[in-house]
Each structure stands twice: as structure tokens, then as C-alpha cells.
A and B are shown apart, each in its own frame.
Chain A
């Protein structure tokens, strides 16, 4: 006991000396170090109702919980990524967080210029201009197991079909991806896998719009799936996917949102598959505060509450809720592992 107590006192004393040594400029008045965290948004800005907003919420939570000074720079255009990242880095921030894969190359460049500054990037890595991961030791990639979130909404879709609670009950559901790239396919893999587990007779239509921004493109794919009998449509196409939600609304069938809670996008949205960017951001900051920053990938899943789902414009029957809790628990403890490749 005495030994531990002594170590604690030494630590406190060290912290006090340290804060006195750096003292005065911030005037925080605390006895512990104030960690400076810089958040650089992508061009979506803080009010994007998606990644940037969630990252901001994570930062706010960290400010409440730790001795953290959080500063934000909203990027107005792609031209701003480099100056914004550099500004935080050259002011010796303890962690510079870039939101989104749009600034992978810039994080790669700036992390090379400032090897002593820690960087974290949501959904990406620090890359060169050809998209190769530079594997800088001072960059932490915050990735997500999209298949976990996809599986949860897949349970909802499969359960509805199996129990005749969907709109058409032809045992057909759909998923509309933006482009056939890993993060999109992870979502769809979990969705299809879980829906088949719930309802073995189900047919899952998978289509791609080859677009992430134009709702009209996704609307076209969604409409053809609806015409083929699909009555739950999962959008995995960002801004383009709003067309899926709207088409489902017009046709009177259900839809499922992606990344953030999309219940406000259309009344047809019954659930959303979530990437908890707020949890990822908070965790990255917590690691820095606890002196546990590590370069490389950090993956967020149901197991560490970094992925999940929300129930939206829909009242969940008790049976479904039980089923969801059961599956979530099994994924959480590793009994069930949603696949990352779309099953046959």
C-alpha cells in the first residue's frame, strides 16, 4: 500500500512540476496536463449529420471527461486539408484527427513532415498519392467492422420477412451499394448473412449505382429491386443512397439507412446501420490521454461498441427486440462472426 501511495505522490508531484514548467499560457489552473486535440473536418463541415458531426460529439465528450482542449477546423475545400492539418501539427497538438478518407493523402504527407505528432484518421490511413498506406508510426487508422452493423439491420429485414411483417412478404429484400469497394461490401455481407440466418428462404438482391452522390442513380437501382419484389431496401451509398430511401418511401416499402441515424431522411427508414465515429474519436483521444497511442489500425465493432444499429420510424415488436439483443450479444462475445465478404 505504502509503495503504491508513494508512486502516486511522485506522479502528482511530477505532474505539478510539469504544469508549472509549461504554465501560464493556457491558464487552465489544473494540476494535470491539458491535452490539445485538433479536429479537421472534411468538406462536409460540422453540420453534415454524419461523420464530421459524430466526430465532433466524440471530441465534446472527451472535453467533458478529460483535461482536453479541443479545437476544430472546418475545411471549406480540399485545398484546406493540408494547411489545417499542418496548423495543428506545428502548434504541437497532442493528437490531430482527420475525418474521413477524403484526406488520406494529406494525412500521409503531413504525418511525414511531423513525425513527432500523433495523427488519427477516420476510415482511412495516411497514404501516398497512389493510395498506398505509408504505415507511418505516428498515424492511427480508425476502421470499422461494417459487417457487424450490417448484420444487425439484416436481422431486422430477415425477421420481418420470416414473420410476414413486411409490406409485400415475398421473401425478397435488397441492398444498394455505391461502388463495389470493401467498406460497402462489408455492410452488405453482414446484412445478407444475417437476413439469411433469420429467414433461410430469403432472396437478397444486391445492386450498385457506381456513384456516391447522385440520388437519381440510386433511385434507379432501388426501383428495379422494388419491382422485383423487394420490400426492405438497405442503402450503402452515402448521398446517392438518399434516392434509395425516397424511392422506398414512394413505393410504400421499408428502407434502412447507413453510417449515421437516418430516420429524418425519409419516413420509410425503419432502421440504420451505424458506424460510431463518436466512439472511435473519443477512444482515440482517450488513448492519447492515457499515453497509449499506437500507430496502425484500430478497429471498431460491436465488441467495443464502435458499430451498431438504431431503430427509426418503426415500433419494434418485442420478439424482434429479443432476437436483436440475442444476436448482438452473440456477435459481442464472438459466438457469431459476420463475414466480411458477401456470402453466396
Chain B
């Protein structure tokens, strides 16, 4: 189903490009070059394009996980963005305040600080859901705004502002930074370019570990079992002795920690300071599409994040090489999400004679989020 949705989106995207009078093949070859460094015609450096894609992919993996985990519990975490911002604020604040500490002490501090801040931010929504039943969709969306305006205050006129008239913070201390995989050296030439242009950082491994932790939690622990039980049916879970409230709160706390980690890694690995770009950051929203497209599985999320990272990286190349607005990338992302949500592919398959009756009917009593990634959609890998 997810592959079908992506193909569906790309076909429809090609039609849109063709209708506007441009060449869809040129558009997609630009995307392919910018995303994966394949088939570049205008002097792009494949290694650089792949490096850019990975840099964009890293936060999408971690926030994708932060959306997917609550999905399993039947919760729709739209607040990954706000939690990411909380994490990046905490990372920046700690990284500036203790800027003289050495890496072995400061780096864990900023990463754990980011996780704690993200967990706190999501925890607010979790506690409200578990105690007074406030819908997490509403509360997490609202908390996104609170986080965005908090960032705005902190770096424009607030305590983290670099200097009057700027809209960014002080840089974090050297000890708070994640190393890049290649040395950040302008004179060391790799693949014909200075090594410092390849910005892939060790946060990649953190993101992969986060995805593995997510899978382990979900499928190998009793907590994961409770999460899935609550997601399937709260009543049944309660009957089976699972504390639904406790599960909801813990799910949100852990999801927030993942998002917060994504924000901290972004500051520690890429930006090194909190800037005005975070006002318009959309990583936490793209993560929703990533989680849906990845069907809530760790491997699926990594692949979906890679696709979205490649689209992001490829958009600019497509614009300069093929002259097609990089807005097409946003259209493609929206089409992918749309076709997953509407399940066009399934509908088409059911409508065709050879596919009729193959797709089992969706169970109707699941919460809407769970329906998209229910056990029916993904067989649990509990084979060993």
C-alpha cells in the first residue's frame, strides 16, 4: 500500500507538471539527482547530494518515530514540531550556559536535556488526555504554537538573543556539538570538494538507534504490548488489567523524548545555534507523513524519512536544473499523504476484477489513527 501511494503520487505529480507545460522527466531526473546523486547532468556532485539528503533525513527518522509510537496507542501526536522546538531550546540553553564543559560531559547533557524538554512538552498533552480527556490533537497543535512563540521570544529580545537586532542565539559551546563524519575542514578535499561541505554528522547513528529503541519498545517489552492493546481497544485493554491512563501518559512522554532528541541533535549536529529558521521549521509535520508512509514500523519510517529527505534535497536541484518550482516537492508530499489517507490504491484494487475480495475489510471499531496502521496492515514481527 505505501509503495502504491508513492507511485500514485508521482504519476499524478507528473500529470500536474505536464499540464503546466513542463517536462515531467526533467523534473524527476532533477529530483533523482538532488536526492540520490543519480543521473546528474549539470555538474552536481553525487556525494554532496547524498550527504544533503542524509542531513535532512536524520530529524525525520526521530520525529517519525515520535509520531508512530502514539499512533500505536491510538493517539494522534501532531505536536512533534513543538516537542522538537522544546528540545532544541533546551539543547541550546544548556549548550550556551555550560559552554566550557568538555564533550563527554556536555554532549550527553544537551541531548538528555533536549529529550527531557520534549518529554515535558508532550507530557502536558498526555496528562491532559489521561486526566480530563482533552483531545491530544487539539492540545498538541496548541502546544506547537506555544513552542514557536517561545522560540521567537527567546531569540528576539529574550534571554537567548545574541545581540540587539539579531534573531538568533549565541552559538553553543564546542563541547556540545556532534562531530561530522568527515572533518569540518575547508582544506581537506574529498570527492573534489572541501570536506566541510559534507555535513552528515554522528546524529545519524543516534537517529538509527532511536528507531531501533522504538521497535524494541513496541514489540519486545510489556509496555509495548500495553501500547498496542490500548490502541486496539481501550475497553479490552482495561479489562485485561492495563492502566490506560498510565499507558497514554508514558506513550506521550516517550514520544516527546524522541522529538526533543531530534531537536537537540539538529542544534548539536547542524545549526549550533537557535535561529529564526525554527519559526518556519516543518520537520515535525513532515514526520506525520513519514510515520504514516512507514506504516509505523521502524524500517518503514527510516525508508519513508529517506524518501522525504531526498525530496527536500532534490527540490532545489530540480528548480535550478529543470526550471520547475521546488513547490512541486510540497505537492508530491501532499499527494503521498493524501493517497495514503484516502487509500486510493486499495480502492482501485478492490474496484478491479482481479483484485476484488483480496483486501480484507478494515476493522471498523478501531480509532481512526490505529486504522491506518493496524495489526491488519502490518503483521507483527513476533516470530522469534
Contacts and interface: CB of A to CB of B under 8 A. Distances in A.
Interface string B132-173: 000000000000000000000000110000111110101100
A113 B163 contact: no
B197 A78 contact: no
Contact of B162 (A73, A88, A131): A131
Contacts of A38: 320
Given A43-B280, A74-B325, A91-B44, A210 B319 contact: no
A307 B186 CA distance: 38
A296 interface: no
Nearest to A43: B280
A77 interface: yes
A82 B42 CA distance: 19
B72 interface: no
A72 B200 CA distance: 25
A79 B267 CA distance: 12
B137 to A, nearest CB: 24
Name the residue among B165, B193, B327 with the largest chain A CB count within 10 angstroms: B165
A76 to B, nearest CB: 6
Interface residues of B, number: 45
A6 B262 CA distance: 65
Contacts of B48: 86-87, 90
B172 to A, nearest CB: 9
Contacts, number: 90
A211 interface: yes
A113 B194 contact: yes
Contact of B196 (A74, A83, A113, A211): A113
B199 interface: yes
A84 B273 contact: no
B52 interface: yes
A179 interface: yes
B103 interface: no
A36 B44 CA distance: 15
Given A77-B281, A77-B282, A91-B42, A72 B194 contact: no
Interface stretch (B10-18, B221-229, B310-318): B310-318
A87 B164 contact: no
B343 interface: no
A325 interface: no
Among A73, A78, A79, A179, find the residue whose CB has the most chain B CB atoms closer than 10 A.
A79
B156 A211 contact: yes
A72 B319 contact: yes
A43 B278 CA distance: 12
Contacts of A211: 156
Given A87-B317, A112-B186, A210-B157, A77 B166 contact: no
Contact of A179 (B165, B199, B281, B282): B165
Contact of A131 (B45, B163, B196, B317): B163
Interface string A75-107: 111111011101110111000000000100100
Given A83-B52, A87-B44, A130-B170, A77 B316 contact: no
Given A86-B197, A181-B165, A102 B320 contact: no
B162 A130 contact: yes
B29 interface: no
B360 interface: no
A328 B128 CA distance: 63
Given A91-B43, A113-B197, A83 B313 contact: yes
Contact of A72 (B186, B199, B320, B330): B320
Contact of B316 (A84, A182, A210): A84
B157 A73 contact: no
Contacts of A73: 316, 319-320, 326
Interface string B55-88: 0100000000000000000000000000000000
Contacts of B166: 131
A268 to B, nearest CB: 28
B287 to A, nearest CB: 14
Contacts of B313: 83
Nearest to B152: A213
B316 A90 contact: no
A228 interface: no
Contacts of A129: 171, 272-273
Contacts of A305: none
A330 interface: no
Contacts of A224: none
Contacts of B164: 179-181
A71 interface: yes
Nearest to A178: B165
Interface in B292-338: 312-313, 315-317, 319-320, 325-327, 329-330
Given A113-B196, A181-B164, A181-B165, A87 B277 contact: no
B162 A87 contact: no
Interface string B247-281: 00000000000000000000000101101111011
A131 B168 CA distance: 10
Contacts of B165: 179-182
Interface in B20-50: 42-45, 48
B316 A83 contact: yes
A36 B84 CA distance: 39
Nearest to A74: B326
Contacts of A88: 320
B282 A78 contact: no
Contacts of A102: 276
Nearest to B318: A73
B248 to A, nearest CB: 32
Contacts of B278: 78
Given A86-B48, A112-B186, A210-B157, A80 B171 contact: no
The 9 closest A-B pairs by CB, nearest first: A78-B277, A181-B165, A129-B171, A71-B320, A91-B43, A113-B194, A83-B52, A73-B316, A113-B186
18 contacts: A38-B320, A76-B329, A76-B330, A77-B280, A77-B281, A79-B277, A79-B312, A80-B316, A83-B316, A87-B48, A88-B320, A90-B44, A91-B42, A129-B272, A130-B162, A130-B171, A131-B166, A210-B157
Interface of A: 38, 43, 71-80, 82-84, 86-88, 90-92, 102, 105, 109, 112-114, 129-131, 179-182, 210-211
Interface of B: 42-45, 48, 52, 56, 156-157, 162-166, 168, 170-171, 186, 193-194, 196-197, 199, 270, 272-273, 275-278, 280-282, 312-313, 315-317, 319-320, 325-327, 329-330
